[in-house]
C-alpha cells in the first residue's frame, strides 16, 4: 500500500468495521440505522484523478484513502433502544442501498449499536458503483 501525504490522515482510518450497525440522529430528532458494507483502500498515483465531493482531485504524490460503502436507513425511530432492536432483527428500512463516502463523512455522527455479517445480497449497489468507479465513471461523496 502506497502511503503518502496527499490525503489527510483521517481519510486513512475508520473507527468501524465491515458489518457494523450504526446509529445517527437527523435534524428532526429521529434516529436512523446504517450498516457498513465495505471498506476499500484505494491507491491514487501521482497525477491520477479521483472524483470526490463533486470535483476531480489530482494527486500530487502517490497515496491512498479509504472509501466506505454504507447502506443508510430512514430516520424512523424515536429512541436508541427502538433503533438498536430494529438493527439487530433486520426490521429497519433501507433508504439508500449503497453510498460511497470518505471515512470522515461516513463516521460523522455515527455510534456503534451492533454488528452482523454483510450478505452478498446487500452488495448489489456496491458492485455497480465499483465497476463504474474502476472505469472512471463514478466518484465518492
pLDDT tens, per residue, the chain with 141 residues: 677 899 999 999 999 999 999 999 999 999 999 999 999 999 999 999 999 988 999 999 999 999 999 999 999 999 999 999 999 999 999 999 999 999 999 999 999 999 999 999 999 999 999 999 999 899 898
**115 Cβ neighbours under 8 A, 6+ residues apart:** 17, 19, 20, 21
| Helices marked H in the chain | 80-89, 103-107, 124-134
CB distance 19 to 33 below 8 Å: no
Instruction: State residue 97's pLDDT score.
Output: 96
Q: Decide the pairing of beta strands 49-52 and 55-58.
A: antiparallel
pTM for this prediction: 0.93
Q: Where are the domains of the chain?
A: 9-134
Question: For position 125, what pLDDT does the model report?
Answer: 96
Q: Look at residue 98 in the predicted model and tell me its pLDDT.
A: 97
Count of CA atoms in the C-beta half-sphere (13 A) of 59: 22
Tell me what pLDDT residue 11 has: 96
Specify the pLDDT at position 129: 95
pLDDT for res 99: 96
Distance of alpha carbon 85 from alpha carbon 39, whole angstroms = 25
CB atoms within 10 A of CB 124: 11
Locus of grid cell 429512541 = 79
Amino acid at each position: 500500500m502506497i502511503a503518502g501525504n496527499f490525503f489527510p490522515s483521517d481519510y486513512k482510518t475508520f473507527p468501524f468495521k465491515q458489518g457494523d450497525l450504526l446509529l445517527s440522529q437527523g435534524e428532526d430528532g429521529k434516529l436512523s440505522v446504517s450498516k457498513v458494507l465495505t471498506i476499500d483502500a484505494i491507491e491514487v498515483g501521482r497525477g491520477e484523478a479521483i472524483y470526490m465531493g463533486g470535483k476531480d482531485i489530482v494527486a500530487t504524490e502517490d497515496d491512498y484513502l479509504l472509501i466506505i460503502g454504507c447502506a443508510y436507513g430512514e430516520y424512523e425511530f424515536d429512541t436508541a433502544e427502538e433503533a438498536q432492536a430494529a438493527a439487530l432483527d433486520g426490521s429497519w428500512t433501507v433508504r439508500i442501498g449503497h453510498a460511497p463516502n470518505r471515512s470522515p463523512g461516513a463516521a460523522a455522527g455515527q455510534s456503534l449499536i451492533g454488528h452482523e455479517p454483510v450478505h452478498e445480497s446487500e452488495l448489489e449497489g456496491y458492485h455497480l458503483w465499483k465497476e463504474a468507479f474502476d472505469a472512471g465513471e463514478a466518484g465518492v461523496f
